Amino acid sequence: MIMVNNIEKDKAMLNSSLEALNRYFGYSSFRPGQEKLIASILRSKDTLGIMPTGGGKSLCYQIPALSLPGVTLVISPLISLMKDQVDSLSQIGIPSTYINSSLAWEELEHRLRLASRGQFRLVYIAPERLQSEKFLGILKDMPVSLLAVDEAHCVSQWGHDFRPSFLSIAPLAGSLPTRPVIAAFTATATEKVKQDIIRLLCLNSPNVYSTGFNRENLYFSVLKGIDKTNFVIDYLNDHKGQSGIIYAATRKEVERLHKTLMRSGFQAGKYHAGLSDTERSRTQEHFSYDDLPVMVATNAFGMGIDKSNIRFVIHMNMPRNIESYYQEAGRAGRDGDPARCILLYSPQDIHIQKFLIEQNPLSPERKAAEYSNLQKMADYCHTSACLRQYILEYFGDKDVPENCGNCENCSDDGKLSDITVEVQKILSCVRRVGENYGVNLVANVLKGSRIKKISLLGFDQLTTYGIMKEYTAGELANMINLLVAEGYLITTEGKYPVLRLGNRAVPVLTGKEKVLRKIRRKKAPAAGTADTALFDKLRGLRKEISEKQNVPPYVIFHDSTLQEMSRLYPVDRASMLAIGGVGENKFARYGSQFIDVIVKHTAGTQTAPLSEKQSATPSSADTASHLVTYQMYREGKSFKDIAASRKLTLQTVQNHIIRCAQAGCEIDWESLIPRSQEELILEAVRRLGPEKLSPVKEALPKEIDYFTIRAVICKHKI
């Protein structure tokens, strides 16, 4: 009986959560993993959720906050994200607020008093606030039922963004009158970091859910041996109007590239720690509001940017570790649409990162770990295997396909080249120098360099000296790094790693295995959009509304929502609410304005004569023709009148109505389907199936036409 009650309770919780998801957020189903996380929290279980950027982590605590009593306290290090989240929640009718350093103490106290009276469902605070005794005293009067920790990896010194203030979260939970449920979320966590999160946040036997780290919409590529600045300029010229981030390793490089882009006529902002708070804030706001399409920045920029329509992230330099790279690259394509993550690699990048590691006052153990992580990042840049597979396996995902079809290495249709002989020469040279020297020295020996160190060591007498003199030292270094990435060679850890033979070396040296390398094609496939003209008009309306309300455009609607509108042309309440991201609250606020733009656009596209339309290839104008018919139907015109007015056949008009119904438009079926015919049609369809209409038509009285049959099938969604 208890088990049955629990099952019924779980069903009720799920239905309630789905209702809230649809009502407030405008989505009809959860993304993978969200349902389990929400159910776990609602069962009052401590929970750890590991979900990729853009996977919908915030919904996993926002939905429970609507059902749980009291307040949900959200700990987040991302001050800019707090305001955006609160703005977004306010747009859909969920009372929320934030507490951070941007507020005066009087305003802060006022918001906390309102929270203690139950005026807010969610309160966002920065972890640094937890180090204030006065602030903690005020918090004790607040009825906190859920403590949500965003970016939970920051609690671990082994994470890529350690914040000491996160260590105050567990003491806070223990000091409250009633310990709340703790739900922690992160996008990037190795097994070691995951265990740290559980231990340092004092999670009680938590449910741990990982939805995997895969972001299928992201296209990964690594480019080597190119002029980076020229590449960026060419890329921006080819992708005008797209929003993107360009990361550089140092402030100096950010300033240089920003100046170059401005001189080349591009609109771009810059962001690094050397700028004033005011300048950084202003530039970030311009980027969020789509006033600046491109941001050139150090890794100080990005955490907390909830901008959904970033179409590309370019790294001018290799980041220090895979966690940082995936976090930064993952800021692209949060709306789920195709986006590109491009890393421009050069050997100098490793020297820059080593210098930055040396500048940090780290313990020997931590420094060794940093060097090890840097080597894994370098291996990513040189591997010929699937780039997505490399990242996912790094984070512990299992059963990852070897070919994802959506990265440079997998979509590459270049020819395979046998480089076994070259590899044998390199491996032989590593062995002859005693497996005790690094990449550059081995490359110089193979090249036949006359640098003094080689002659002093006597390496100019080796049989491998000058054996690959037809290659440049840079080409040889790239080839050696490829062999490290593929396991033919390994490198020791530390500031000055040396090369040693890996497990895969012996079969190649003995001639038992060959080594093949793919010669890559230059360009990755581009992704298209729906009705571009309509999409631009909808973006213009969104921009106008966002400026009036002083919120970023994506707070109104994400790009993915506008793109779906420009594919499906919703022109009434039902079809608009069927669009992902349009909930009841947003429809009430904005629905009629966006419908007006869609209707005017579709009406305005019907200017070409019918004969031209019939001979032309399908276009946005042709696709929208059914909606013009639908508008005339809504105005009360008969099918015959519409056909005569538009110079269409009656069958074409009927097809338009069926198409609109399938897209979710409201149709008065009672006026179109004679009641006496409906049951006959239903019985025939159930008996013969809806796949072929001819047998159904033959089984029915002659007065029942094909349109009525299709209308019944459409009405009953058979």
Eight-state DSSP code of residue 460 = G
- DSSP reduced 3-state for 219: strand
Neighbours of 703 (CB within 10 A): 8
Residue 674 predicted with pLDDT over 80: yes
In sign, the C-alpha dihedral spanning 248, 252, 253, 256 is: positive
pLDDT per position as a tens digit, 392-432: 998 888 888 888 888 988 875 556 678 888 999 999 999 99
pLDDT tens track for 387-403: 999 999 988 888 888 88
By DSSP bridging, strand 339-345 and strand 181-186 are: unpaired
- With respect to residue 241, please indicate whether it lies within any of the assigned structural domains: yes
In a domain, 613, yes or no: yes
> Please, are residues 56 and 308 in contact by the beta-carbon 8 Å criterion?
no
497/552 same-domain check: no
Q: What is the DSSP string of 303-349?
A: TT---S-EEEEEESS--SSHHHHHHHHTTS-TTSS-EEEEEEE-THH
Q: With a cut of 60, say whether residue 81 has pLDDT above it.
A: yes
Other CB atoms within 10 A of residue 200 CB:
17
Query: With 90 as the cut, is the pLDDT of residue 285 above it?
Result: no
- pLDDT for the residue 573: 80
Q: Which residue would you say has higher pLDDT here, 6 or 618?
A: 6
In the numeric block, which tokens belong to residue 330?
């993952």
Residues 355 and 451 in one domain: no
| Confidence bin at 268 (pLDDT 50/70/90) | very high
pLDDT digits (tens, 9 = 90+) for 4-18: 455 666 677 778 888
Domain annotation covers residue 678: no
The yes-or-no verdict on residue 616 having pLDDT over 70 is no
pLDDT confidence band for 41 (50 / 70 / 90): very high
- Cα angle value 261/262/267 (rounded, 5°): 95
Considering the domain architecture, whether residues 512 and 539 belong to the same structural domain is answered as no
Rg value, the chain, Cα = 30
Percent of the chain with pLDDT over 90: 25
| Statement: residue 106 has pLDDT above 50 | yes
The pLDDT of 26-30, averaged and rounded, is: 83
The CA distance from 295 to 275, in Å, is: 14
Average pLDDT estimate for 621-642? 72
On whether both 196 and 335 belong to a single domain, the answer is no
Domain boundary (393, 411, 429) is at 411
CA–CA distance from 685 to each of 67, 76, 697, 700, 710 (Å)?
Answer: 43, 56, 10, 10, 10
Q: Which CATH number covers residue 257?
A: 3.40.50.300
Within a domain: residue 708? no
379-383 average pLDDT score: 88
In angstroms, rounded to a whole number, what is the distance separating the alpha carbons of residues 674 and 715? 13
Confidence band of 687 (pLDDT split at 50, 70, 90): confident
Closest CA to 660 of 686, 697, 685, 623: 623
Same domain, 156 and 286: no
Lowest mean pLDDT among 125-134, 276-285, 311-320, 510-519: 510-519
pLDDT at position 327: 86
What is the pLDDT averaged over residues 82-98?
Answer: 88
Strand pairing class (310-315; 243-247): parallel
Given this model, what pLDDT does residue 425 score?
Answer: 92
Q: Using the 3D structure, point to which of 411, 431, 447 is the last residue of a domain.
A: 411
Q: Which residue has the higher pLDDT, 350 or 590?
A: 590
Q: What are phi and psi of 499, to 5 degrees?
A: -90, 140
- What pLDDT was estimated at residue 614? 31
Which alpha helices (H) appear in 23-154, and where do they start and end? 34-42, 59-67, 79-91, 105-116, 133-139
Place of tokens 């076994």: 420
Q: Of the given ranges (186-190, 371-375, 404-408, 458-462), which has the lowest mean pLDDT?
A: 186-190
Residue 72 lies in a domain: yes
Q: Number of structural domains, the chain?
A: 4
Residue 650, pLDDT above cutoff 90: no
Q: Which one-letter amino acid corresponds to residue 397?
A: D
The yes-or-no verdict on residue 618 having pLDDT over 60 is no
Q: Which residues does 211 contact at the CB level (< 8 Å), separation at least 6?
A: 31, 32, 33, 49, 50, 51, 52, 55
Q: Is the pLDDT of residue 665 over 80?
A: no
Q: Do residues 12 and 78 share a domain?
A: yes
pLDDT of residue 113 exceeding 80: yes
C-alpha closest to that of 369 among 143, 139, 193? 193
Give the pLDDT of residue 337: 85
Same domain, yes or no, for 145 and 187?
yes
What does the pLDDT average to over 537-559?
A: 88
Closest listed residue to residue 48, CA positions, set 166, 214, 163, 205 = 205
Helices (H), 396-488: 408-411, 420-432, 439-447, 452-457, 473-485
507/556 same-domain check: no
Token pair in block for residue 137: 């005293």
As a whole-number percent, the residues of the chain with pLDDT over 70 amount to 91
Asked if the model's pLDDT at residue 492 lies above 90, the reply is no
The pLDDT of residue 574 is above 80: no
Residue 191 placed within a domain: yes
**pLDDT for residue 6:** 59
**Could you tell me which residues come within 8 angstroms of residue 352 by beta carbon, excluding any fewer than 6 positions away?**
249, 250, 317
| Residue 279 located in a structural domain | yes
| CATH code: domain of residue 501 | 1.10.10.10
Task: Specify whether 57 is located in the same domain as 74.
Answer: yes
Residue 303: what pLDDT? Answer: 62
Same domain, residue pair 340 and 430: no
Mean pLDDT, all residues of the chain = 83
Lowest mean pLDDT among 54-68, 453-467, 619-633, 703-717: 619-633
What pLDDT does residue 146 have?
A: 94
Give 615 or 582, the one with higher predicted confidence.
582
Q: DSSP letters along 585-647, please?
A: HHIIIIIHHHHHHHHHHHHHTTTS-HHHHHHSPP-HHHHTHHHHHHHHHHTT--HHHHHHHHT
Q: Tell me what pLDDT residue 621 has.
A: 37
Flag whether 369 is in a domain: yes
pLDDT digits (tens, 9 = 90+) for 42-65: 999 999 998 877 678 889 999 999
Domain boundary among 411, 428, 446: 411
As a whole number, mean pLDDT of residues 492-519 equals 82
3-class SS of residue 191: helix
Range of the domain at 663: 532-667
Say yes or no: 463 and 541 in one domain: no
Q: Which long-range contacts (CB under 8 A, 24 or more apart) does 17-22 make?
A: 17/42, 17/63, 17/64, 17/67, 20/63, 20/66, 20/67, 21/59, 21/63, 22/583
Q: Is there a single domain that holds both residue 593 and residue 647?
A: yes
